[in-house]
Amino acid sequence: MTPLRLKPNYISPIWSGDRIARARGIVYDKGTPPGESFDVTAHRDLVNTVEGGPYDGIRLDELIDTHHEELLGQGLPDDDGIIQVVTMDARESLSVQVHPDEAYAQAHENDHEKTESWYILAADPGATLIAGSTTNDRDALRAAAADDTVGNLFGRHVSVSEGDFILIPAGTMHALGAGIFAVEIGSLGFKTYRICDWGRGRELHVKQGFDLIDTSLRPEPRHLGAFDPNGPDQVQLGVTHELFEAEVVDVHGEFAGELLDRYQILTCVWGDAQVSTPEGGTTDLKFTESLLIPASAGSYTVRGTCRVIRSYRP
């Protein structure tokens, strides 16, 4: 099976910026830029379809069902989907959220755990994200959530810049902040519980959020630095979790990758790349785009002056 290019699914949340549109040359209706692009997902709510090649137009979840081992590789359960990749541009801060772990998601949502991570493509000066709470006082947090002030009063704001990578485990109070352009790498789950929306009036999910919130979780980013076009070839660990891992690969010419009987997802986060496999020809991979490399491809080569994230199941 050759590498799969997937058709992104775009939405325009209330907080959307226009950097996705500018990066990809998308024309949109005035005032409604596509602030969120679901680039790789097999989740039922926004599943991608294959774009081009022999499987053109087929839903990714259907392709997993019919070519499970060829696509995903060895040792993954039948209901295992694909690591999700979402590009996000926040003109305004996202809601303060909590995501469920596997047990809660299965029991209450017929869904899977949502643990995620963010790689920072760009950040305005002074931009911050929320990663955890500044207090362990659940009563104070609950009272602040009741009047939509928990983000201002107790959000643990972390400054970020290009090249930072942060893991947000399920149960973490978090929010992507205004002025941040990011790629989200995460597990199969989809469910979000808002506990603060900055007064914008959308539905909150305070009960569910407080069923799950773990105030001891206060993640810190890895500061990998911006890509240096004149720097060394290198592979740096981005984030690691039992459901996914992501490495940041700097390429100045050519990088050879092995699949080891599991699929990988390549996401270009600086420059443009070309990706080839032994039997699949060559595919262009431009800034912010992702490509799914099936397990059966065996190996791949990335060429260019670029930085790519390779995401995989450990």
Please give the pLDDT value at position 78.
72
Beta bridge partners of 184: 86, 118
Concatenating the DSSP letter of every residue in 125-139 gives: TT-EEEEEES---HH
Q: What's this model's pTM, rounded to 2 decimal places?
A: 0.97
Please give the pLDDT value at position 77.
77
Please give the pLDDT value at position 23.
97
Please give the pLDDT value at position 88.
98
Domains 4-223 and 234-312 in one fold = yes
Please give the pLDDT value at position 200.
94
- Please count the other Cβ atoms lying within 10 Å of the Cβ belonging to residue 21: 20
Which fold, 234-312? Answer: Jelly Rolls (2.60.120)
Please give the pLDDT value at position 116.
98
Concatenating the DSSP letter of every residue in 45-102 gives: TT--EE-SSTTTT-BHHHHHHHSHHHHHBTT--TT----EEEEEEESSPPPEEE---H
Residues catalogued as catalytic: 194
The upper half-sphere exposure of residue 65, i.e. CA atoms within 13 Å in the direction of its Cβ, equals 7
pLDDT single digits (tens) 46-82 = 999 999 999 999 999 999 999 999 999 988 877 777 9
Class of domain 4-223: mainly beta
**Is 116 known as a binding-site position?**
yes
**Is 108 known as a binding-site position?**
no
Q: Domain spans of the chain?
A: 4-223, 234-312
Beta bridge partners of 37: 10, 87
Instruction: Name the helix (H) or strand (E) containing 282.
Output: strand 281-285
Residues of the chain short of pLDDT 70, as ranges, are: none
**Is 157 known as a binding-site position?**
no
